[in-house]
Structure 1
Amino acid sequence: MWTYFIHGDPSPSVQAFLEGLGKALEAQGFRLELTEEAPNLVLNAIRKEAPRPYRRKAQATFVASVLELPQKPEDPIRELYPYLVRALSNVLLAYVPGDGVTFLTLELGHYEEKEGEGFYERVAARLRPIACSRLVLNNVFIPDLEPELWQGDELTESMHRAGKKLKEWDLLPAPFPIEEILPPEDLRHVKRLYGIGGLSYGNLSVRKDETRFWMSASGVDKANLREIGRDILMVKGYDPEQNAILLSVPPHVEPRRVSVDAIEHWMIYREHPGVGAILHVHAWMEGVPATPFNYPCGTYELAQAVAEKVREAKDPTQAVVGLKNHGLTITGRSLDEILERIEGKLLRTVPMT
């Protein structure tokens, strides 16, 4: 059974909201936990003047912070993101009594649920996929990369070219300086739990051989992918027992973590030998099939949902899959081929539903 825990100092309006939401969660299979013994979901009531974080003890705990506002924010991302980050949340629920809730995720997804019939059930249904997801963020670094690859190859050079092109297209947004929003202690906490190296969005990878692929690191400047082990890493597998991505690195480099979407790329490459490259961008295309839930990035469930859509595509080697409220995952024979195929077709604004 999934569990939830209530934390913080709620106002009377937020207290009533949490009680209604709690009943809806219980109807969907959750149990209220009275202690902090690793709950699946924490509902953290915060105040604007001092958004108190909940310091989770494990990656498996997802935190939804609830912030009461007098009116709906005009620009949810810019107005709410600092609260989401300061409260160390996976998702923020900005609650306006009598109106509804605006959700905001770490990946900049934002969407609303209006008050009315079934309000609490709808909010609970939004939270359930987040709370029940399994993060795959651990990295195991193995210093066994072949010396001839320490300086990269023609494939990593194609990643460098692609990153520069994405920068030209303004598809590498980094609107929030996380280092300025969080104090050092909280920043270390976020990096340790979620592998976030900064708010640089998008990632790309290219297949090296039957079992391995190069992939961009987390939080690096995607417009300047150069150093092996720091900007670009070699993914060699996934260990389900450790729930970790396995990486080959040069022995002389202190490596960065690989992108949180590595599990998603690993699933696609393993199932589709014809896929030679994968690109993920925070943009949209009309008419694309999309994943049914707003799963968090870096979760096994999101990877499965995207892999399923790629499998259903007419040609899995040229698939375009929408990640609900988030962006696109695009497969191709090479990064150059992907970029040629999508040039001029991308919408900069991702629809939020």
Structure 2
Amino acid sequence: MRPVPIILALLVCAAIATFVIKGGNSAAPKEDTPESSPAIAGEFPPVSVLVQKSVAQPVTSGIVLRGQTEAFRQLEVRAEVDGKVISQPLRKGTLVTEGQLLCELDVGTRQAAIAEAKARYEEAKANNKGAAGLVQKGIISETAAFSREAALEAAQANLDRAQREYNNLKINAPFSGLLESDTSEFGSFIQRGSPCATVLQLNPMKLVGFATEEQVARITENAQAGARLLSGRQVEGKVTFISRRADSVTRTFRVEITVPNDDGKLRDGSTADIYIALSGEKGHIIPQSALTLNGDGILGIRAVKDNKATFLPIEVIRDSAEGIWVSGLPAETNVIVVGQEYVTDGREVSVTFKEES
């Protein structure tokens, strides 16, 4: 046997054993240096964002209520005496003026009652004449004089009552308006308290809506208001009444707006969308896409201050075609409108301002 192959085999095994014992790499391990670690080398580079300069301005905001039109006044005109109607009826829809005759009742025996009351009055007046002098002369007693004076006052009262009943035979319109019902028919008998006609005053007209407790706290009297009817017509007026008592069922408050109706085309009971303007509030108008949420789920925006991003909470006032109106921001704010989702509080940003259109 030749010894050379055996010696070579032993040398190879020794070399392999040495390689395994030393871990397969005789080179010294390299130590990490600050230059070799990008995470430790320095801060992250600034994030490029698009910023809109926003300045607070008065907000044209308001409250929308669902409501309806209502006659400014509605009155059922009733008879104050009994009697038969002797006037021709006026048909519903007729325009009447203040003081116009609606119903006239038969005189009956009322003229005779007036004549009798006048005679009683003249008699009592004559009996009472000179009563004071007769008392001084001792002809009559003071008690008799007082009785004569009381009889005179009673006769005067009876005469006034008879005259008043006679005057109440004519029932007139208390104000100018529209007849909602026919007046009493000719020949019909109406009793005291029976209706003669129903009159609506339609100029001006009322708009009636019901506001929630939160809404009514923001509404003031004389505030500008308007409405759009289902017909498409728009009207404007002012708030004239705000109820201090809530409806027991809906827990809402009645609000009334008075609007002109010179042409008489507004009808009682028409559906209306009522808009009441609010004043004195300032806010910012920003793109709706600029809104974001922080880690706690609070709605707000990202703004730039000292070249760093910061989160500012906001409250939404209302939206519009130009954007969304918000409050809660400083008077002048640099709002991030693009890139707000890629920054956190304190992150440095590279600002590009949005050109004003």
Same structural fold, with TM-score higher than 0.5 when normalized by the shorter chain: no
TM-score w.r.t. length of structure 2: 0.18
**TM-score with structure 1 setting the length:** 0.18
**Bigger relative CO (Cα 8 Å, ≥ 6 apart):** 2
Greater per-residue strand proportion: 2
Larger Rg: 2
More helix by proportion, 1 or 2? 1
